[in-house]
């Protein structure tokens, strides 16, 4: 089946640094990828939608300059948390879909746990 | 905006018990509805889905019926196994699930005891 790989799975870094998270579709081409954020005991919240070769569409309340998303190829999207602070600590999950018009389900990565000290 | 409400967990059952996890939603238009499952240490996997009213999604012995009149999509299984222990997420999409991001419930942690 369709596999989405997310890297790293866990990262700890100091406040003020930038952290990049990769999301790769391993055996299919993903026209669209989504980034979600999950706080403890909360639901996954959609942060942004990225389409290959175009700018990401951010949900209301998500800072574009804080969470930089790049979808440079059909198999890779990256989320960079810039100048991270403790409040950015969370679980970040990506998903990918082969064709936004084909009614296909999203395939999820295993998530990245980000801890900012 | 869209929202999904599902029963709080954890839900603890004995093996072979009947399972129901309630899920209700609010949405504009006619959303598609999903159940995702997250086994320990793994990512989310699609369990089943339904795209229109009265559709029944089913997989691995689990079923859920899209009830437009009650805006519900309750998950059921007749006889649970220890291997069903996981976190279950109800979700909706304004499209078929591909073009739009999903709106998730908070998740229900299911624990099945032998």
Q: What's the confidence (pLDDT) of residue A20?
A: 97
Q: What's the CA gap between A43 and B34, in Å, rounded?
A: 14
Chain segment A78-112, per-residue pLDDT in tens: 999 999 999 999 999 999 987 655 566 788 999 99
Top residue of A44, A51, A94 to mutate, by most chain B CBs within 10 Å, is A44
What does the alpha-carbon distance between residue A47 and residue B72 come to, in Å, rounded to a whole number? 25
Q: Residue B112's beta-bridge partner residues?
A: B13
Find the angle CA(B11)-CA(B103)-CA(A33) to the nearest 5 degrees: 120
Q: With 60 as the cut, is the pLDDT of residue B92 above it?
A: yes
CB B97 within 8 Å of CB A32: no
pLDDT at A5 over 80: yes
Q: What does the pLDDT read at residue A22? A: 97
Q: pLDDT band at residue B94, thresholds of 50, 70 and 90?
A: confident
State mean pLDDT over B61-90: 97
Residue closest to B30 by CA, chosen among B67, B81, B58, B62: B67
Backbone dihedral angles phi then psi of residue B100, each to the nearest 5 degrees: -115, 155
Beta bridge partners of A114: A11, A90
Percent above pLDDT 70 for chain B? 96
Predicted confidence (pLDDT) at residue A42 exceeds the cutoff of 90? no
* Interface A:B, Cβ pairs < 8 A: 68
Antiparallel, parallel or unpaired: β B3-6 and A19-25 = unpaired
User: How far A79 CA sits from the closest chain B CA (Å)?
Assistant: 16
pLDDT at A24 over 60: yes
Q: What is the mean pLDDT of chain B?
A: 92
Average pLDDT over residues A62-74: 92
pLDDT digits (tens, 9 = 90+) for B3-55: 999 988 899 999 999 999 999 999 988 899 999 999 887 888 999 999 999 99
In DSSP notation, B24-92 reads EEE-SS--EEEEEEE-TTS-EEEEEEE-STT-EEEETTEEEE-BTTTTB--EEESS--GGG-EEEEEEE
Q: Which of B43, B98, B104 sits opposite A97 (nearest CB)?
A: B98
């Amino acid at each position: 089946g369709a596999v989405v790989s997310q890297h790293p799975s866990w990262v700890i870094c100091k406040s003020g640094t930038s952290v990049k998270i990769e999301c790769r579709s391993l055996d299919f081409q993903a026209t669209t990828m989504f980034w979600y954020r999950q706080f403890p005991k909360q639901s996954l919240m959609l942060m942004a939608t990225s389409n290959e070769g175009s700018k990401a569409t951010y949900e209301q309340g998500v800072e574009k300059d804080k969470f930089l998303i790049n979808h440079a190829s059909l198999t890779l999207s990256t989320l960079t948390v810039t100048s991270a602070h403790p409040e950015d600590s969370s679980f970040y999950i990506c998903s990918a879909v082969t064709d936004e018009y084909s009614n296909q389900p999203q395939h999820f990565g295993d998530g990245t746990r980000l801890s900012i000290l | 905006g869209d929202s999904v409400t599902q029963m709080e967990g954890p839900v603890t059952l004995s093996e072979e018990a009947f399972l129901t996890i309630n899920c209700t939603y609010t949405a504009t238009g006619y959303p598609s509805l999903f159940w995702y499952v997250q086994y320990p240490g793994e990512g989310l996997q699609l369990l089943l889905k339904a795209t229109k009213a009265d559709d029944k999604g089913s997989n691995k012995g689990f079923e859920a019926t899209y009830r437009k009149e009650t805006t519900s999509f309750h998950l059921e299984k007749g006889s649970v196994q220890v291997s069903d222990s996981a976190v279950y997420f109800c979700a909706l999409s304004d499209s078929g699930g591909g073009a739009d991001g999903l709106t998730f419930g908070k998740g229900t942690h299911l624990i099945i005891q032998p």
